[in-house]
Amino acid sequence: MSLIVTGTIGIDTVHTPTDKREQVLGGSCTYFAAAASFFTQVRLVAVVGDDFHADYQAVFKKFPNVDVDGLEVRKGSKTFRWGGKYLEDMNERETLFTELGVVAEKPPTPPAKYADSKFVFLANSHPSVQMAMLESFPKRAIAVADTMNLWIDIARGELLSLLSKVDGLVLNDQESRMLTGKRNPFTAGKMILDLGPTFVVIKKGEHGCVLVHRDGVAALPAYPCEQVVDPTGAGDSFAGGMMGHLAAAHSKDQDIGMPAVQQALAHGTIIASFAIESFSLDRLARLTREEMAKRYTEFQAVVRV
């Protein structure tokens, strides 16, 4: 089942309490696509500037299932750049800088050959850009969106319009609270279902995730992890693993039933646990399907009741 992701590619600078990396490949779209590519082919629609040099392009070659024909390199523009610093408690971070660059210009145009995409993931972006992207895929069967606190704050109306059109929403616990005013993730999730989606996934970082689906609720802890190198991209890798698994495992267009989404969450959990073992895409680039399968089996034992 063809999967497509639209969103941001960035050049990241990341400081952790013990280490740092300057100008490494990042962005929601990047982590999502890399993670999803372990399960299925994934098409990527994004725009970068002409500062996006060959070393960055080369990273995508390590993920042969990522189709980068939809990656536009815009002459005279600058790639989105972000810098962040994680505090001693790695659950908290400060933004060092944000240079929007090409993200402040017009969005990329999906190649015509992608118009038949069935599974659409709208990674974090302005909800009106997400809406325009959504409408580029008229043959879609399933659309899922991510969002962030900024859009809940400054573009709530557009976000609500988008929510009425998508099948699923992925967001973190602070965002779900901001969107609904409810602290309890199950209460918040049910309110979000009333806005349109069939399911909502609320990410809680080290505490795992919660699924609120029209057919029931689920909850999973994170994979037990003692050494986090860099949490950047954990949520996007989680979403990539989840959507990749959904797209790969299900032949019927509409199959986003509770059991399918629930199993997909576990695969998202596992791939996210690898993503945070390195800066940038380093760990995912050398990850094998055998390692993934082994950790999935371990995770089944961890949550056995």
Matching residue, tokens 């929510």: 163
- Options 15, 126, 204, 250; binder of a second copy; rule CB under 8 A: 204
Q: In Å, what is the CA distance from 61 to each residue of 32, 56, 113, 146, 213?
A: 15, 9, 21, 25, 36
Using CB under 8 A, count the residues that bind a second copy: 32
Angstrom distance (rounded) from CA 149 to CA 135: 23
Angstrom distance (rounded) from CA 171 to CA 107: 22
Helices (H) and strands (E) in the chain, counts: 11, 14
Q: Where does 223-299 show beta strands of DSSP type E?
A: none
The reply on whether position 17 binds a second copy by CB under 8 A is no
The reply on whether position 305 binds a second copy by CB under 8 A is yes
The reply on whether position 218 binds a second copy by CB under 8 A is yes
The reply on whether position 293 binds a second copy by CB under 8 A is no
Shortest Å distance, C-beta 12 to a second copy: 24
Per-residue tokens: 74: 């815009």
Angstrom distance (rounded) from CA 234 to CA 227: 14
The reply on whether position 214 binds a second copy by CB under 8 A is no
| Range 53-112, binding a second copy (CB under 8 A) | 89
Shortest Å distance, C-beta 235 to a second copy: 17
Question: Under a CB-based contact definition with an 8 Å cutoff, are residues 214 and 193 in contact?
Answer: yes
Shortest Å distance, C-beta 145 to a second copy: 23
| Range 148-187, binding a second copy (CB under 8 A) | 183-184, 186-187
The reply on whether position 196 binds a second copy by CB under 8 A is no
Q: What are phi and psi of 16, to 5 degrees?
A: -115, 170
- For a second copy, what does the binding mask look like between residues 231 and 270, x meaning CB under 8 A? ----------------------------x--xx-xx----
Angstrom distance (rounded) from CA 60 to CA 80: 17
Shortest Å distance, C-beta 283 to a second copy: 18
The reply on whether position 300 binds a second copy by CB under 8 A is yes
> What DSSP character marks residue 216?
E
**Interface residues with a second copy (CB under 8 A)?**
89, 183-184, 186-187, 204, 207-208, 210, 216-222, 224-226, 259, 262-263, 265-266, 296, 299-305
